Amino acid sequence: MNETAAISGATSETTSPDQPADPLTLDKVARTGNRALAFVRDFPWVGLGVLSTCLGVLILYAYFRSMGHVPADFAILLGAGVGIAGVTFAYLLVVVLALILPHAVFTQMESLKAAPWRPWPGSLKDANNLLIGAQWLSVGLLFSYSAWGLWRDCVPGLAYVLTPAVVLVVAGGAIVAHAGWRRAVWRWTTTGSFVQLLLLSSLPLLVLSDLLMPTGTTSEWDYLLWLLVWLTFIFVLGALPKEVPLWAVALVIPFLLPAALWLAPAMRGHGDLFPQRVMEMAGIRTTKAIELKVPQATCELIAATALFGPTGQAVTPCGAGTPWVTVRAQVLSNLGTRWWIEVQQVGDLAVDPAEVLRMSIPADGAQLVQRRPATTPERRSQCKATS
């Protein structure tokens, strides 16, 4: 009896609510992080699956939080979370591989590594000037091709593409010429490997354009931010010591990606850009406004909510006796029994641009319509003839 009382007294003493909790120290945080890293190392696929699932849930939350709308069907949300996790994992894997591909080509090709490249003088002597110059030159050539396409098809804005093309071609060519100033460098094997490096060096810029450029709202500042992030990225990889293994680079880049994916677009007011891109890849959101065919009752529901014109005068955009009505809207979420859309036009009437109309409509009966132009763009010869 006394022993039982003593044991219960000791138990109550150790679990007393008045006893202060152990303070959270950096040592405990470090031990917890080491256990997590050890788990990922011992079970890589399980660890990556857990991380991607957490990221998928975070992306779903960030996306619906930015819209101020959460679907009511939680079972569908849970299923979508698993799918989003898979899409996110595959997307980030492709992004990481594309971003490190130029660095991987340079570090894995013996003909490029063994060539006596001339380093930069001064504090930049340890930077990989050939890799940086090759990427500048490659992107400059890509911009030059784009500028030629704009000139050929009579599209305005040629100067905005041609100016950075000339700068990058001249600067990148000068860096490559400085690094390979010795005639002995340019053997057949080295030249062939350098051409392959040039062909792959535009991938980081193309991947970052997919991550950082908002659809339909691109401005000059968005282009400038895109180029600045790309320049910073290639300088970071170019400044890495050549002895750093490729697997270490592949592990470091995923930790740098969140800054590029969330913080950089947030500087231009597009903090939800990455969640939107993942939703578009998963088929939950459309990239732009599309044509919808909706039943008469759904059209009347939209028309009763929308304002048409600056004065909001009473109109009947749905017609009379028409079973199907055309509505132009962007689908923001097609999960569950109700879609969440952003309406731009109902029938022949445009919604008042002073407001952003977002609303839910029944998914039953709504049909997506795609129309693609069959005509070819106007060529330069035709453009001269009509001018």
Per-residue model confidence (pLDDT) at position 57: 73
Per-residue model confidence (pLDDT) at position 9: 47
Per-residue model confidence (pLDDT) at position 210: 81
Residue located via tokens 């990427």:
135
Per-residue model confidence (pLDDT) at position 174: 92
Contact 140, 165 (CB under 8 A): yes
Per-residue model confidence (pLDDT) at position 24: 58
Q: Which residues of the chain have pLDDT under 50?
A: 1, 3, 5-17, 312
Q: CA of 152: how far to CAs of 10, 148, 185, 362, 378, in Å?
A: 87, 6, 38, 46, 8
Per-residue model confidence (pLDDT) at position 143: 93
CA–CA dist 300, 305 (Å, integer): 9
> In the structure, how many helices (H) and strands (E) does the chain have?
15, 6
One DSSP character per residue, 300-345 reads HHHHHH--BTTTT----TT-SS-SEEEEEEEEEE--TTEEEEEEEE
Per-residue model confidence (pLDDT) at position 261: 64
pTM for the whole structure: 0.69
Least Cα distance to 172 among 132, 202, 203 occurs for: 132
Tokens of 2: 């006394």
Per-residue model confidence (pLDDT) at position 141: 94
Residue located via tokens 């009752």:
297
Per-residue model confidence (pLDDT) at position 37: 60
Least Cα distance to 87 among 278, 250, 332, 284 occurs for: 278
Least Cα distance to 366 among 296, 304, 318 occurs for: 296
Tokens of 304: 């009763």
Per-residue model confidence (pLDDT) at position 171: 93
Tokens of 272: 């939800």
Per-residue model confidence (pLDDT) at position 62: 79
CA–CA dist 326, 252 (Å, integer): 49
Per-residue model confidence (pLDDT) at position 10: 45
Per-residue model confidence (pLDDT) at position 52: 64
Contact 346, 327 (CB under 8 A): yes
Alpha carbon 286 to chain centroid, angstroms:
15
One DSSP character per residue, 152-174 reads HTT-S-HHHHHHHHHHHHHHHHH
